[in-house]
Chains A and B, each alone.
Chain A
Amino acid sequence: MSTTASRAGDLADVAASNDTLRRFLHGLPGVDQVGVEARAAGLATRSIKTTAKQFALDLAVRMVDLTTLEGQDTAGKVRALCAKGRRPDPTDPTCPSVAAICVYGDLVPAAVDALRGSDVAVAAVATAFPSGRAPLDLKLADVRAAVDAGADEIDMVIDRGAFLAGRYLDVHDEITATRAACGDAHLKVILETGELATYDNVRRASWLAMLAGADFIKTSTGKVSPAATPPVTLVMLEAVRDFRSQVGRQVGVKAAGGIRSAKDAVRYLVMVNETCGDDWLSPDWFRFGASSLLNDLLMQRQKMLTGRYAGPDYFTLD
């Protein structure tokens, strides 16, 4: 891999200046819009049945970051969500827990309290989520507060304005600073792909975030439409796959916003499977940021087990 090898060799110096960063990001292979959309649509025609479907539904439940990000959130609401995350289907002890509960920073203590003793992680959005329009020191304070309160994972937003203006180094350094503020907490970097507009930008932003130390790259805040789409997620999956083969570090992907049905979730898993393979088919490396998705997963899961659909009232609304 001649070009790839030279690229990997240079990576240490890539962030030396905005110019070197720009040259590197613009030297990445382009993304053809028609082609990537056709590929994503083609993968969506996979027919996942019986045992494969059972596997996929359970895996999808384990990958959910059960999320509430509303101005009207309260500690009570978060506690209810945590109970749901620990035991999504109270009638079925074989149903796995979700990966994490995702909340605003000030509600981290409530979530930590409610999840004590479980494997479910607490994720907090930070850095002036969702717009990211705040001074850097405030953003970092936001991160530290969440980490100090016990958050295991931090979901930050990038400065899309700086990215679109070509100030890649600013974006890079902000991620690096946030990474440092996270300490032991995992950092998910939200690209807000709905504002990046082109697939080329999605690929560049993915690489930028990974170069700056992201543990996960995440599609969206869920506050902007379109949020996660299959082609955008495909481009990000290709990026983490290529990044590992060139740099040797594995980065996860989180598709967030707009994924509401089990069918869609299974399609995303097919995409993960056929783009990145087994190594990414785990909650450690792929997540769904969602709220209403979970109940559809549970409904389909129960249907697989019992052979019939239960009414929506059999699944808790939290």
Chain B
Amino acid sequence: MGTGMFDYAPAPESTALVDIAASYGLYIDGAMVDPLDGTPFKTVNPATEEVLAEVVAAGPRDVDRAVAAARAAYDGTWSRLSGRDRGKYLFRVARLVQERARELAVLESIDNGKPIRESRDVDVPLAAAHFFYYAGWADKLGYAGFGPDPRPLGVAGQVIPWNFPLLMLAWKIAPALATGNTVVLKPAETTPLTALAFADICRQADLPPGVVNIVTGAGDTGRALVEHPGVDKVAFTGSTEVGRQIARSVAGTRKKLTLELGGKAANIVFDDAPLDQAVEGIVNGIFFNQGHVCCAGSRLLVQESVADELLDRLKRRLATLRLGDPLDKNTDIGAINSPAQLDKIRELSDVGEQEGAERWSPACELPERGYWFPPTLFTGVSQAHRIAREEIFGPVLSVLTFRTPAEALEKANNSPYGLSAGVWTDKGSRILWMAQRLRAGVVWANTFNRFDPTSPFGGYKESGFGREGGRHGLEGYLDV
């Protein structure tokens, strides 16, 4: 962030709308309840390291209670409601998310560290849009291509990550409820607050008790939920490592599984690309949400003939990024979500240097308190480098070059992951040629990190299986 003559004064979003309790219980059977065997832990603001609230790491008995509540609600009310009535509840939830948008955005930025510009303009509006979209499907399931009267699965156990807490909650809960399932959802241990606020939205919406249950906690709580015999469906978004464990534990059971895991997306820039917009797409691809995005464009593949010019433009652009207080409306790069994640980003970045790649960051002052990492790019990266293969999940871009479309394709596909990819070119035929051959669930053409509830999202290979969003997103929650 340069400090030129036009120096933007602080423009902090007001926190007046947000009311964080000193401690929270678990949301089970329509009420906030004290834990049976859970233990308290604290959630902190990653930008200041201040403790925000005390929450519960739910124990096995708590999870059991939540699953039982979800089962009772499934048998007793939710599976008997007409699609039209389920849709009415979901529309109500969607409207409440919109009504409380500002509060949710501030809460998300405080708990997660992401810039308010993103939580306000991306996370919360998309979460509301997701509920609206699936609310519309609830009474039309017979026309979705899964038979005349597709049945729900039962109780869904859902475990979500910390990078888009409310949005991932919406991706999980909206299709599950629309199709007639009930849910037990575990938010990530570092970002429970918007899920707990959502519990209040369920109460406001008069959702029947037990249809949505929220149990906070860390890995142990997640394991208890996933392995609970009363769960019919497991949906997980998170790391490939945990995804593997879940797949193992679910194997041989009746449980249906969808996994949305890691990625190492190639963002491919051809020499005829619109360069200024490609620069924006690269920035949006890897520095959006501090790079805490499973589909982040963390590998930039640029054609050799424009590599120098593109990198000059990219570096000039990175120098204008504003890092700092997530609640400042002009902040582009917020805080890293946790010290553990910061350690991982630092470690892999150091490895990148040791492997011989050249590291560059713009002049960028980091705040003294909190967890921060400057936007960083590595040039001279080759396919054999760890920073070209492993998911860093931070604001770190690895730049590789290529000479021909075939080489670009080969390098892009040469990864155990396959969640997303980007293609930048003015040539339509080349976009189609690449899109047909890229082994990635989403291929963006002349854009990146664009999301819409109507569009299915999911991975190839070790990026997981199953699709979320769109008509396809219904399938994971239907007995088909």
Whether B11 lies near A49 (C-beta < 8 A) is: yes
- Give bound CA distance, A46 to B121, whole Å: 12
The interface residues of chain B lying within 8 Å CB-to-CB of A309 are none
Whether A29 lies near B275 (C-beta < 8 A) is: yes
- Give bound CA distance, A49 to B329, whole Å: 11
- Give bound CA distance, A270 to B8, whole Å: 9
Tell me if A238 counts as interface (CB < 8 A to partner B).
yes
Which residue of A34, A46, A48, A278 is within 8 Å of B447 (Cβ)? Answer: A34
Whether A1 lies near B281 (C-beta < 8 A) is: no
**CB-based nearest B residue for A282:** B5
Whether A52 lies near B6 (C-beta < 8 A) is: yes
Whether A47 lies near B280 (C-beta < 8 A) is: no
Which residue of A2, A53, A277 is within 8 Å of B309 (Cβ)? Answer: A2
**CB-based nearest A residue for B424:** A32
**CB-based nearest A residue for B13:** A47
The interface residues of chain B lying within 8 Å CB-to-CB of A34 are 277, 446-447
**CB-based nearest A residue for B120:** A45
What distance in Å separates the Cβ of A184 from its nearest Cβ neighbour in chain B? 29
Whether A47 lies near B330 (C-beta < 8 A) is: yes
Is the interface on chain B under 10, 10 to 19, 20 to 34, or 35 or more residues?
20 to 34
**CB-based nearest A residue for B328:** A47
**CB-based nearest B residue for A238:** B276
Whether B6 lies near A36 (C-beta < 8 A) is: no
The interface residues of chain A lying within 8 Å CB-to-CB of B308 are 1-3
Secondary structure of the A contact surface, majority rule: helix
**CB-based nearest A residue for B320:** A274
Whether B280 lies near A278 (C-beta < 8 A) is: no
Query: Assuming A35-B446, A35-B447, is B274 touching A29 (CB within 8 A)?
Result: yes
What distance in Å separates the Cβ of A87 from its nearest Cβ neighbour in chain B? 25
Secondary structure of the B contact surface, majority rule: loop
Which residue of A32, A35, A47 is within 8 Å of B329 (Cβ)? Answer: A47
- Give bound CA distance, A84 to B7, whole Å: 29
Interface residues of B in 1-58 (CB under 8 A from A): 2, 4-11
Whether B117 lies near A45 (C-beta < 8 A) is: yes
Whether A56 lies near B6 (C-beta < 8 A) is: yes
A-B contact count (CB 8 A): 87
Complex interface bits, A38-58 against B, C-beta within 8 A gives 1, otherwise 0: 110000011111111101100
Tell me if B306 counts as interface (CB < 8 A to partner A).
yes
Tell me if A4 counts as interface (CB < 8 A to partner B).
yes
Which residue of B275, B330, B426 is within 8 Å of A46 (Cβ)? Answer: B330
Among B8, B121, B278, B329, the one with the most A-chain Cβ atoms within 10 Å of its Cβ is: B8
Whether B320 lies near A30 (C-beta < 8 A) is: no
Tell me if B343 counts as interface (CB < 8 A to partner A).
no
The interface residues of chain B lying within 8 Å CB-to-CB of A45 are 117, 121, 329
Tell me if B241 counts as interface (CB < 8 A to partner A).
no
- Give bound CA distance, A36 to B279, whole Å: 11
Complex interface bits, B439-450 against A, C-beta within 8 A gives 1, otherwise 0: 000000011000
What distance in Å separates the Cβ of A298 from its nearest Cβ neighbour in chain B? 20
Tell me if B368 counts as interface (CB < 8 A to partner A).
no
The interface residues of chain A lying within 8 Å CB-to-CB of B274 are 29-32, 35-36
Query: Assuming A3-B305, A32-B277, A39-B277, is B447 touching A52 (CB within 8 A)?
Result: no
Whether B5 lies near A281 (C-beta < 8 A) is: yes
Among B5, B6, B117, B274, the one with the most A-chain Cβ atoms within 10 Å of its Cβ is: B6
- Give bound CA distance, A52 to B436, whole Å: 49
- Give bound CA distance, A30 to B277, whole Å: 9
The interface residues of chain B lying within 8 Å CB-to-CB of A53 are 9
- Give bound CA distance, A225 to B446, whole Å: 28
Complex interface bits, A2-32 against B, C-beta within 8 A gives 1, otherwise 0: 1110000000000000000000000001111
- Give bound CA distance, A274 to B121, whole Å: 20
Interface residues of B in 267-313 (CB under 8 A from A): 272-278, 280-281, 305-306, 308-309, 312
What distance in Å separates the Cβ of B364 from its nearest Cβ neighbour in chain A? 16
The interface residues of chain B lying within 8 Å CB-to-CB of A38 are 280
Whether A277 lies near B272 (C-beta < 8 A) is: no
Tell me if A118 counts as interface (CB < 8 A to partner B).
no
- Give bound CA distance, A274 to B283, whole Å: 14
The interface residues of chain B lying within 8 Å CB-to-CB of A50 are 9
The interface residues of chain B lying within 8 Å CB-to-CB of A147 are none
Whether B8 lies near A48 (C-beta < 8 A) is: yes
Which residue of A35, A52, A59 is within 8 Å of B8 (Cβ)? Answer: A52
What distance in Å separates the Cβ of B176 from its nearest Cβ neighbour in chain A? 32
Interface residues of A in 261-280 (CB under 8 A from B): 269-270, 273-274, 277-278
Q: Can you pick out 9 interface pairs between chain A and chain B where the beta carbons lie within 8 Å of each other? A: A3-B308, A31-B274, A35-B274, A36-B277, A39-B277, A48-B11, A273-B4, A278-B4, A278-B5
> Hey, which bits of chain A sit against chain B, CB under 8 A?
1-4, 29-32, 34-36, 38-39, 45-53, 55-56, 59, 238, 269-270, 273-274, 277-278, 281
Closest 3 CB pairs of A and B: A35-B277, A47-B11, A47-B329
